[in-house]
Amino acid sequence: MKDINIHVKYLTRVEGHGDIVVNANNGNIEKISLDVIESPRFFEGFMIGRSWNEISHIVCRICGICSVGHSTASIKATEEAFGIIPSEQTITLRKLNLYAEFIQSHILHLYFLAVPDFLNVTSAFKLIPTHPQAVLRGLKLKKLANDFSGVICGRHIHNLSQVVGGYTAIPKKKDLEDVLRRLEEALPDLNETVELLKQLKMPELDRETEYISLQSDNEFALYDGEIYSSDTGRDNHKNYKKYTNEFCVPHSTAKHAKANRDSFMVGSLARVNNNFDKLSPLAKSVASSVGFKAPINNPYYNNVAQLIETAHCFEESIKMLTELTRKGLKEETPKVTVRAGNGVGAVEVPRGILYHEYSYNSEGKLTYANCIIPTGQNLENIELDMKKLVPEIIEKENESEITKKLEMLVRAYDPCISCSTHLLNVDFKK
């Protein structure tokens, strides 16, 4: 019977600061946890009293990777509070911007954060001598996605023109045509990515859980939809607090969340499991070529689900850009009438469902804000996965192999800890 003491300090190749801690004494597991040690930034506190037109520009700064997602959730919450219905063109551009962010984020995660583990190196840059084509392909796809977002909203990190009511600058048709051409030309690179992922062996772990995502009758829901739980079905987005009951845990530094069971999962795997039939044809063919049959209960397959979603976003973007460039774009000026009210914005972002809720007074000053990010929703699920995994491998594998599998597990969720708007510091005696 083994003693192990794993403490991965400052887990790398994730966004934000987290530690993994596992202690086992004579084969008995005494502690398994993912500790969040990120510095708090207090967005929901310091935003109070600020004007409605600043809020989406402030909250996009919660996170560099999902900046567009935060701004989209924020704008939707404010529009609901003010009773604004955006134009069809605005919704098309917002959807395209989300697709660009999904491609950017998933490619960054797959090529630069996840794949190095599978190929036994410490970073993607170590793959330059052995896999130069893969590194260059990853960089090319990431650049394409960043440029795509730049065409829609000025720049991907902390967008410029996407605001309440519409856009302050309409993308140029020529730039959209350019992105469309580059997306079409990059389809072979996407195929190569599928081939690369096929060679990677996902570690084994089977733990059924509750999957929560948005869902819509019309499409694979990212920009809009109702909340869907694989346990209890659909519900209105305004009831989001029923699906994010946040609670404190004595052994970690972040609020955890639960819905109908001890934990639930959000993100690519949850979305693909819940909404497989709404995926684009290309995404479905990628799924079948990598042997993905929904539902899959192995969290390591979140990596695979990200690839399937990347294919979906590619195909949908090409379809929508073709239509948009054919029709042409209209100059539209955002029109906003301020009123007192409350609104909730629910959007799928690369790591899962994101909620922003705001209240405004009659002058349009913020009086209440609540932002619930995907990684916070996943924390409890990650810990329960770790608690299932460690006993299964503790006698078979050595400490460094166990550590690696745990790191890969946490990375598979693509956690974005610096996003964590709600943190708690509870002293833990190690």
Partner 1 sequence: MKPRVAFFDFASCEGCQLTVINLEDEILDILDKVDIVNFREAISDQSEEYDVAIIEGSITREHDKERLEKIREKAKVVVAIGACATTGGLNALKNLKPLSFIKNAVYGESASYYNSFDKAYPISAFVKVDYFVWGCPIDKNEFLEVFRSILLGKKPEIPNYPICVECRLKENICVFEKGMTCVGPITRAGCGAICPSYGSGCEGCRGYLDNPEINAEKDILKKYGKTVDQITSDINLFNAYREDK
In the complex, the residues that contact partner 1 under the rule CB under 8 A are 10, 12-16, 38-48, 50-51, 54, 57-58, 61-65, 67, 108, 112-113, 116, 122-125, 128, 139-140, 142-143, 146, 153-158, 160-161, 163, 167-169, 248, 369, 418-419, 421-426
Q: What is the CA radius of gyration of the chain?
A: 21
Separation CA 282–CA 194 (nearest Å): 12
Least CB distance to partner 1 at residue 262 (A): 21
In terms of CB distance, is 131 or 142 closer to partner 1? 142
CB 26, min distance to partner 1, A: 30
Find the angle CA(197)-CA(187)-CA(115) to the nearest 5 degrees.
Answer: 25
- Find the shortest distance in angstroms from Cβ 53 to partner 1: 9
Least distance from partner 1 to the Cβ atom of residue 250, Å: 11
| Rounded CA separation 52/160 (Å) | 16
Strand order in the sheet with 210-215: 233-235, 226-229, 210-215, 264-265
CB of 73 to partner 1, least distance (A): 15
State which residue, 124 or 304, has the beta carbon closest to partner 1.
124
417 neighbors 113 (Cβ within 8 angstroms): no
308 versus 338: smaller Cβ distance to partner 1: 338
Q: Parallel, antiparallel, or unpaired: how do β-strands 210-215 and 264-265 relate?
A: parallel
- Pick 66 or 346: Cβ nearer partner 1: 66
331 exposure class (CB count in 10 Å sphere: 0-12, 13-18, 19+) = exposed
Q: Which of 95, 142 has the CB closer to partner 1?
A: 142
Residue 415 and residue 15 in contact, taking contact as beta carbons nearer than 8 Å = yes
**For partner 1, which is the closer residue by CB, 135 or 296?**
135
Minimum CB separation of residue 284 from partner 1 in Å reads 30
* Ramachandran area for residue 140 (φ above 0: left; ψ -120 to 50: alpha; else beta): alpha
Q: Count how many residues are written for the chain.
A: 430
